[in-house]
C-alpha cells in the first residue's frame, strides 16, 4: 500500500457545520465581537411582525405554550415606545405612534444584544392609557433558549432584523384587524370609538402601507389568519424543536455532531426499545445503530489515501475498498449477523 498524498479530513467539516447551518448567529451584525465559541451558546431569536391587532401576541403565546419544555421569553416592541413629552401629550391626537421614530430603537437593540449575550435585562413597562413609561418599575427578563421579539415594526430596522434567526409575519385581513382594534382600544386602552377610527385613518393605515407592509418581504414565514392557523403554528414549533434539540446538545458538549435522523434510524430505535423484541432482533438492530455511530465517528478522523490491491488484482483506493467491504458485510449471507461484530 502506498500513500497517495498527505493527510486529509473527510468530507465532514471540522467546524461541525453547526456554525454555518444551524447556528442562530449566522446573520449577526458584522460588527459583532462574538467568537466561534460564544456563537454555540446563542439563543434562537424569532421576530414576529404584522399589522396592528393581526394576532402577533396571540401567535407568540401559542408558540410559547407549545414550547413549554424550553426557556422562552417574549419581548414586545411596544415596551420601547418613547414616553410623550408634556407638549406632545397636550396634542396627543397629532402624534403618530405608528411611525418608526415613535420607538427608542437604540434601546431596543441594546436590550436585545444583552439578552442574546446571556445577560439579564430590565425592560420598560409602557402604559397605553397615559402614553408614558412607568418611571419606577421594569420587567426583568432572564437569559433564555429562545427570544421572541414582537411588534409592528420589528423588521423595519436592519440592525434589529440582523439579530433574528427566524422572521414571521402575521398576515390578517385589514377589516378583521380594524374590528379587533376598535374592541381592544375601547375596552382595554380607554379610547372612544371616534378617536380610534380617526387615529386609524390618519396614522395607523398610512403607516401600515408605508412601513409595515414593505417589511413583509423580510419574513421567512407568513402566517395567514394569525392564531387561527394552527397548522402553521404547529409547523413552526416543530421546526423550533428540531433546532433547539440540536442546539441544547451542542451547548453542553461543544464537540457533539448530531447524526441526521431518518425514518430508518427512528424505526430501529423504536424496535430496540420494544420490550417484546427477540434477542436476535435486538442484537441485529443495535449492531446496525452502533455501526452508524462508529462510522460517523471515524468520518471525523484524519486519514491518508491508500491504494489496495485485491486478491483478484484490482487496484482500489482504501476508501472504495472499505465501501465494497461494508456493502458485503451488510448484504452477504456469510458476513451477516454475528460476523458483523468482528468489524
Ligand X SMILES: Nc1ccn([C@@H]2O[C@H](COP(=O)(O)O)[C@@H](O)[C@H]2O)c(=O)n1
Ligand Y SMILES: Nc1ncnc2c1ncn2[C@@H]1O[C@H](COP(=O)(O)OP(=O)(O)O)[C@@H](O)[C@H]1O
Subset of residues 238 to 297 that bind ligand X, contact rule: CB under 6 A: none
Binding flag, residue 78, ligand X (CB under 6 A):
yes
For every residue of 78-122, DSSP letters joined together read: GGGBPPPPHHHHHTGGG--TTSGGGB-HHHHHHHHHHHHTT--EE
Binding flag, residue 227, ligand Y (CB under 6 A):
yes
Question: Shortest distance, CB of residue 96 to ligand Y, whole angstroms?
Answer: 17
What totals of helices (H) and strands (E) does the chain contain, helices first? 12, 9
**Total residues at the site for ligand Y (CB under 6 A)?**
13
For ligand X, the closer CB: 155 or 285: 155
The stretch near ligand Y (CB under 6 A) out of 12-20, 45-53, 301-309, 322-330 is: 45-53
Binding flag, residue 226, ligand Y (CB under 6 A):
yes
Binding flag, residue 22, ligand X (CB under 6 A):
no
C-alpha closest to that of 132 among 171, 167, 88: 88
The stretch near ligand X (CB under 6 A) out of 36-44, 52-60, 113-121, 232-240 is: 52-60
Q: % helix / strand / coil in the chain, to the nearest 5?
A: 50, 15, 35
For ligand X, the closer CB: 67 or 154: 154
Contact in structure between 157 and 56 (CB atoms under 8 Å): no
From CA 121, how far away is CA 131, in angstroms rounded? Answer: 22
The stretch near ligand X (CB under 6 A) out of 49-57, 111-119, 308-316, 325-333 is: 49-57
Q: Give the one residue of 50, 126, 212, 236 binding ligand Y; rule: CB under 6 A.
A: 50
Q: Give the one residue of 23, 25, 49, 54 binding ligand Y; rule: CB under 6 A.
A: 54
Dihedral angle at the C-alpha atoms of 264, 270, 272, 274, nearest 10 degrees?
-150
55, interface contact from ligand X, ligand Y, none, CB < 5-8 Å by kind: ligand Y
Binding flag, residue 98, ligand X (CB under 6 A):
yes
Q: How far is CA 120 from the centre of its chain?
A: 20
Binding flag, residue 196, ligand Y (CB under 6 A):
no
From CA 39, how far away is CA 22, in angstroms rounded? Answer: 11
Binding flag, residue 184, ligand Y (CB under 6 A):
yes
The values of phi and psi at residue 313, to 5°, are 90, 5
47, interface contact from ligand Y, ligand X, none, CB < 5-8 Å by kind: none
The values of phi and psi at residue 44, to 5°, are -90, 125
Binding flag, residue 215, ligand Y (CB under 6 A):
no
- Residue 190 burial class via C-beta count within 10 angstroms: exposed 0-12, middle 13-18, buried 19 and up: exposed
For ligand X, the closer CB: 24 or 151: 151
Interacting residues of 47 by C-beta distance below 8 A, sequence separation 6+: 148, 149, 150, 154, 155, 160, 161, 164, 166, 167, 168
The stretch near ligand Y (CB under 6 A) out of 154-162, 204-212, 220-228, 262-270 is: 220-228
Binding flag, residue 153, ligand X (CB under 6 A):
no
C-alpha closest to that of 223 among 70, 78, 60: 60
Question: Shortest distance, CB of residue 86 to ligand Y, whole angstroms?
Answer: 28
Binding flag, residue 216, ligand Y (CB under 6 A):
no
Contact set with ligand Y (CB under 6 A): 50, 52-58, 180, 184, 226-228
Contact set with ligand X (CB under 6 A): 52-53, 56, 78, 81, 97-98, 128, 131, 152, 204
Amino acid at each position: 500500500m502506498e500513500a497517495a498524498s498527505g493527510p486529509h479530513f473527510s468530507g465532514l467539516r471540522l467546524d461541525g457545520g453547526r456554525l454555518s447551518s444551524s447556528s442562530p448567529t449566522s446573520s449577526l451584525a458584522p460588527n459583532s465581537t462574538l467568537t466561534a465559541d460564544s456563537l454555540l451558546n446563542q439563543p434562537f431569536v424569532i421576530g414576529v411582525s404584522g399589522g396592528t391587532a393581526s394576532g402577533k401576541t396571540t401567535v407568540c403565546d401559542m408558540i410559547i405554550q407549545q414550547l413549554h419544555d424550553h426557556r422562552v421569553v417574549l419581548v414586545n416592541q411596544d415596551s420601547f415606545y418613547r414616553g410623550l413629552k408634556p407638549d406632545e401629550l397636550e396634542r396627543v391626537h397629532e402624534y403618530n405612534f405608528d411611525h418608526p421614530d415613535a420607538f427608542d430603537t437604540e434601546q431596543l437593540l441594546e436590550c436585545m444584544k444583552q439578552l442574546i449575550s446571556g445577560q439579564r435585562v430590565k425592560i420598560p413597562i409602557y402604559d397605553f392609557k397615559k402614553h408614558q413609561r412607568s418611571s419606577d418599575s421594569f420587567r426583568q427578563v432572564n437569559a433564555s433558549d429562545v427570544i421572541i421579539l414582537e411588534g409592528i415594526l420589528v423588521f423595519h430596522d436592519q440592525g434589529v432584523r440582523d439579530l433574528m434567526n427566524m422572521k414571521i409575519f402575521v398576515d390578517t385581513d385589514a377589516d378583521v384587524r380594524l374590528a379587533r382594534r376598535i374592541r381592544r382600544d375601547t375596552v382595554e386602552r380607554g379610547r372612544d370609538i371616534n378617536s380610534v377610527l380617526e387615529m386609524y385613518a390618519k396614522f395607523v393605515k398610512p403607516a401600515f402601507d408605508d412601513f409595515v407592509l414593505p417589511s413583509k418581504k423580510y419574513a421567512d414565514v407568513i402566517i395567514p389568519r394569525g392564531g387561527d392557523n394552527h397548522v402553521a403554528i404547529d409547523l413552526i414549533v416543530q421546526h423550533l424543536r428540531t433546532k433547539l434539540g440540536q442546539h441544547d446538545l451542542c451547548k453542553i458538549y461543544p464537540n457533539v455532531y448530531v447524526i441526521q435522523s431518518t425514518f430508518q434510524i427512528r424505526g430501529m430505535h423504536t424496535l430496540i426499545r420494544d420490550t417484546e423484541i427477540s434477542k436476535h432482533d435486538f442484537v441485529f438492530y443495535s449492531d446496525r445503530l452502533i455501526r452508524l455511530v462508529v462510522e460517523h465517528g471515524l468520518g471525523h478522523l484524519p486519514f491518508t489515501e491508500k491504494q489496495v490491491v485485491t486478491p483478484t488484482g484490482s487496484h482500489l483506493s482504501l476508501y472504495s475498498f472499505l465501501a465494497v467491504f461494508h456493502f458485503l458485510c451488510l448484504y452477504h449471507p456469510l458476513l451477516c449477523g454475528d460476523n458483523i461484530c468482528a468489524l
